[in-house]
Every structure is written in C-alpha cells, then in structure tokens.
C-alpha cells in the first residue's frame, strides 16, 4: 500500500503573470462594454432609438375629409363616406404561407398569385392591395389576424344625384383628387390638407398605441353651387325623353337665372354614373354644353337683327324683299325653306328667313357686325370656371369674304357652345346687359355690362315672342300661363369641311316675356326619328322645362292659362339653318 503523499495533486497552479493577464483581459472587456453602453445610451442614443422605431413605430397620414358639394338649397350633390384601404408590410407578409394568402385573396376578391406578385415587386415598406374597401369587408380582413396586413382609413366620394349631375359635379380618383367638373375646378377649396401622427405597431402591423400627433388635418371646405336640384332633375328628364324619342346622338340643356347669371341647371346626354365608372367612356364624360362646339344656325338671327337695329340700318317695320326665296353671292346661292316674299324685319325673325337675315347683315360694315357678335360673348369663353371650356370661333372681320358675312348672319361659319348661346340671350332678357355667369351660388351678383340699348333689346324680345306664336317657327315652345320668346335653329353639321344632311336642332328662349326670369337653351344632336327641325325637336323640351322651372321658382303668371294656340296640322313654319 502506497503512502498518501505519493498521489499526484489535481490542482494546477498557473503562473502569476498569466493569471494577471487573464484578469486584465476580462476587466478590459467589461470596461469596453460598459463604455459602449454608456456611449450608446448616454451620448449617442439616436442609433438605438432609430432601430427601435424602424421596427415598431410608423408615421401615418391622417386623411382630410373632403368638403361637401351641395345645390343652392343645401341638398348634397357630393359627399365623402369613410372606407378602408387594405395594405401590407412586404417584409412581414412574405412569411405568410399559401393558405393564409389564399384566405386573404378570397376576402378581397383577388387572385392569390396577384397578391404574391404585388408583394414580391414592392420596393418600399408599405404597399396597398386594395383601395376603398367597405367597412364590412375590412372587418373580415382584420379578422384573419395576418401579420403585416393592416388597414388605413380613406374616404370615398358618393354622388347622391348620380347621372343627373355627373357632368356638372364631376368625380374624384382613388386618392380623392378631383378629375372632372366642379371636383376638379375647386380641388384646392374642397380637398383640405392631410395630417399625420406617429404610432406604435405590433408584430402583426396593427396599431397598439398613438405616440404623438405631428400635424392636425385641415378639413376641406364645403361648396354651395348655383344649381337648383329640382330644376336639374326636370331638365334632365325632359332632355332624356327628347333624345330617346328622336333617337338622337345626344343633347344638352342649360337654365340660367337672368337676374344673377347663376346656372340653375346644366345637363348632357349621354351621361354616366359617377358612383360606378368601370365601363365609362370619354364620350360619356364630355360636358357637351361647355366643351363641344357647334354651328348655332338660325338662333344667331336674333343678334343679326339686333345689330341692324342698333346700327340704325333697319327698324322692325322695315320691309325686306326675300323673293324669289333665294339670294346669290358670288358662286353661292342661299335659300329659304319656304318663299316668304316681301316681309318686314319682325317677320324675318318670326319666319326665320335666311334671305332676309343675309340682306340685313350685308347692310352692316364687317367690323360693326363683328363687334356686335363679340360684345355678347361669341369667340370668347364664358369664364365660368369649368376646366376645358371651349372658346368658340369668331374670325377677325379683316379676313371676311362677303359670303362669310352672309352665312354668319344665320349661324353658319362660326362656332359656339350652348352655354355661350344661353349667356348671349341674357342680353335680350335684361334690356341690353350681359351678366357674368356663375356655377357657385351668388350672394351678391356681379353688375352687368351694357352691350346694346334697352330699346333694341326690348324690340328683339317682342320679335322673339312672335316666333313662338302662330306664324312663327316655334309654336310648340308656348307655355300655358306664361308669355315666352325664343328662336329655333336647325343647322347642318359639317363633316370634312362639307355640310351634310345631319342636323343640330336647337331652341333658345326666355320667360316670362313681361319680366324675364330665366333663359333656357336646348340642343339635340342628330335627331334621326323623322323630325329634325328645331321647332319640332328642341322647342317642346324648352316648353316643358320652362313650365316646371317657373312654378318651382314661384314666378307669377303673365298670361291666361288658355294662351297656348298651336297651328293646324301641316301649317307649321319650318326653317333650315
């Protein structure tokens, strides 16, 4: 048996120098870590703060509620309703399995592969999958509890009057920016300014805490239009009936308040539903009354005669020889639809004689005739504030040939919009003053500008009334209980520089004649059901709109209720151009 002292010791003693070295290294490492911690947390905490915020905090926009658009009585024409946008954080949703993506696709009505593609192609840390989702659908998305899938509050524009006010109010895009009509023209007024806030999100991307508000949203301002929704519906109904009955390509109607220059109604066909624009075409969205140009035809004769009276070359009783029903200027011959023989100036307008109108125009110096047309707004925009408004075409008199001055007297050789024509007729209703037009309700209308004498305006107004009575071209424009005046137009359309047998039928008039309150302009494009004269196609629409509008506005009668006298069948006076 060995002695205990002979067993080797298990304890190894390190050299003193090596022990101090190890201890020194451990102490140095500890001091480095302490120093680094002090540096990061005490002197340079921005880095850690930024990394933490990058993982859990976000700055999100707070959308501003767009202002409401109303009619003049406060009835809503455009309002915003809250909806949700479904968005994802690409880095988080890439971890979702196929079953989760398929479930999300079913709720959103999308293809699962399309969702994967959108996520894979995302360049930022946020991408929308679907915009303007209704609340019930958004709730189903939230119920899936998918990491990285989140909701963002948005607003969707809703138009209570739908197709009736579509061309007037317009619409917004998915980002709530105005694209057409008033929505575009008054974008800055309606839109407001979005705000922002800083929030903390959990790992699923859902907001768990608001940290701070960075910018308070400024809500959009409301806008009251001049439109009377009841008159707007009336005008739309009557225009639609006429376009359907006469199988027309389209049409427009405008109702103006004579006293204020406000637009009480403006309608166009074809139209569209601004609440559902999936299949809307550019042709449907065109505001024909403001953008489309046409040759006004015989509705221009009122201004030709007014220019002649104002210049002193004719009076209402001045006799004009229109026989044999035609007139030749150079190689061109201008004809009346029917021979009228020797008639006075009043009858030239009443019977819509092209020959008589030409002879009056040719008595005027070219610059004097041009000035008369320019004064009432032809060749210039109305400046109503609508985007894309057309100027029309009225060439300088320096370049006129005799045939051009002749044809302009009955509305060929120049182009206008229906709104321009309606505005020009205000001069006859206001005893010679032009009023600025407004699509926004006027609390204090702008003063008018005199463009012709009161005597001339009143004289032409009496002539316009005769045009709607027996012996005139527009007896179908008469309204029970009211005296009305106006002028028909039946203009050939131009195709490739040549007049073709397709027509624009129009009627523009005022009521009541004793104290005019409204001007109504109606245009029917290419009626094709057998009738195409303005007195047959457009005048009845004027009559129905005026009858309803004057009642709605509470305008007193200025004629007995049995004042309407229609001509015997076959005796109606017709005019072409």
Catalytic residues: 298
CB count within 10 Å of CB 17 equals 7
Handedness of CA 89, 95, 97, 98 (dihedral sign): positive
E strand or H helix that includes residue 465: helix 454-467
- Is residue 162 within 8 Å of residue 273, measured between CB atoms? yes
Tokens for 296? Answer: 């006004």
Distance, in Å, from the CA atom of 360 to the CA atom of 334, rounded to the nearest integer, reads: 14
Q: List alpha helices for 197-353, DSSP H.
A: 229-245, 282-285, 288-291, 301-311, 345-350
* Whole-number Å distance between alpha carbons of 147 and 94: 10
CA 212 – CA 53 distance, rounded (Å): 13
User: Cα separation of 286 and 271, whole Å?
Assistant: 8
Treating both helix axes as pointing N-terminal to C-terminal, what angle do 98-108 and 135-143 enclose, rounded to 10 degrees?
A: 170
Q: Tell me the C-alpha to C-alpha distance, in Å, between residue 258 and each of 28, 80, 465.
A: 93, 33, 17
Of 524, 346, 510, nearest in space to 435 by CA? 510
Burial class (CB in 10 A: 0-12, 13-18, 19+), 169: buried
3-state secondary structure of 251: strand
Q: State the CB neighbour count (10 A cutoff) for residue 439.
A: 22
Supply angle C-alpha 311, 314, 316, rounded to 5. 120
Supply φ then ψ for residue 135, to 5 degrees. -55, -40
Phi-psi region of 162 (alpha: psi -120 to 50; beta: other; left: phi over 0): left
Sequence-distant (6+) residues with CB within 8 A of 19 are: none
Locate 172 and state its tokens: 């917004």
Q: Is residue 345 helix, strand or coil? A: helix
Give the closest residue to 334 by CA, choosing from 282, 422, 408. 408
DSSP strand pairing (149-158 vs 195-201): unpaired
CA distance 436 to 517: 16
Cβ contacts of 444 within 8 Å, gap of 6 or more: none
How far apart CA 440 and CA 480 sit, in angstroms, is 31
Rounded Cα distance between 189 and 178, Å, is 11
Alpha-carbon torsion 112, 114, 116, 119, what sign?
A: negative
């Amino acid at each position: 048996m060995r002695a205990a002292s002979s067993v080797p010791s298990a304890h190894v003693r390190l050299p003193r120098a090596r022990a101090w070295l190890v201890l020194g290294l451990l102490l140095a490492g500890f001091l480095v870590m302490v120093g680094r911690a002090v540096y990061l947390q005490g002197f340079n905490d921005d880095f850690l703060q930024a990394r933490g915020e990058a993982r859990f905090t976000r700055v999100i926009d707070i959308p501003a509620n767009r202002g409401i658009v109303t009619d003049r009585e406060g009835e809503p024409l455009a309002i915003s309703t809250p909806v949700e946008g479904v968005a994802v954080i690409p880095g988080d949703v890439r971890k979702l399995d196929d079953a989760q993506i398929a479930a999300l696709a079913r709720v959103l009505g999308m293809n699962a592969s399309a969702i994967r593609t959108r996520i894979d192609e995302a360049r930022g840390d946020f991408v929308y999958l679907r915009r303007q989702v209704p609340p019930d659908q958004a709730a189903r998305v939230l119920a899936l509890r998918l990491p990285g899938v989140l909701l963002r509050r948005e607003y969707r524009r809703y138009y209570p009057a739908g197709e009736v006010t579509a061309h007037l109010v317009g619409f917004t895009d998915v980002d709530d920016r105005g694209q057409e009509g008033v929505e575009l023209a008054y974008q800055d007024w309606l839109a407001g300014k979005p705000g922002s806030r800083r929030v903390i999100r959990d790992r699923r991307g859902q907001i768990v805490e608001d940290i701070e508000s960075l910018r308070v949203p400024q809500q959009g301002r409301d806008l009251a239009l001049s439109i009377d929704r009841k008159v707007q519906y009336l005008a739309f109904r009557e225009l639609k009936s006429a376009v359907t009955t006469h199988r027309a390509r389209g049409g427009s109607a405008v109702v103006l308040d004579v006293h204020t220059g406000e637009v009480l109604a403006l309608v166009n066909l074809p139209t569209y539903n601004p609440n559902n624009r999936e299949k809307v075409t550019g042709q449907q969205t065109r505001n024909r009354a403001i953008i489309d140009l046409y040759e006004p035809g015989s509705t221009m004769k009122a201004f030709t005669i007014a220019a002649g009276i104002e210049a002193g070359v004719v009076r209402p009783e001045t006799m004009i020889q229109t026989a044999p029903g035609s007139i030749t200027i150079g190689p061109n011959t201008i004809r009346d639809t029917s021979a009228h023989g020797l008639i006075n100036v009043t009858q030239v307008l009443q019977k819509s004689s092209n020959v008589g109108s030409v002879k009056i125009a040719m008595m005027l110096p070219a610059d004097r005739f041009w000035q008369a047309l320019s004064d009432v707004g032809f060749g210039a925009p109305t400046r109503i504030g609508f985007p894309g408004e057309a100027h029309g075409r009225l060439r300088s008199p320096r370049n006129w040939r005799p045939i051009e001055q002749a044809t302009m007297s009955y509305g060929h050789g120049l182009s206008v919009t229906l709104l321009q024509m309606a505005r020009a007729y205000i001069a006859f209703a206001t005893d010679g003053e032009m009023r600025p037009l407004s699509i926004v309700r006027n609390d204090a209308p702008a003063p008018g500008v005199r463009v012709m004498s009161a005597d001339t305006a009143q004289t032409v107004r009496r002539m316009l009334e005769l045009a709607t009575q027996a012996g005139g071209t527009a007896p179908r424009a008469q309204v029970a209980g009211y005296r009305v005046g106006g002028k028909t137009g039946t203009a050939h359309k131009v195709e490739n520089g040549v007049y073709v047998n397709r027509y624009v039928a129009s009627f523009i008039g005022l009521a009541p004649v004793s104290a005019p309150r409204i001007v109504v302009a109606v245009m029917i494009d290419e009626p094709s059901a057998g009738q195409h004269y303005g007195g047959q196609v457009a005048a009845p629409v004027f009559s129905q709109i005026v009858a309803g509008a004057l009642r709605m506005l509470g305008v007193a009668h200025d004629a007995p209720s049995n004042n309407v006298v229609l001509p015997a069948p076959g005796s109606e006076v017709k005019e072409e151009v």
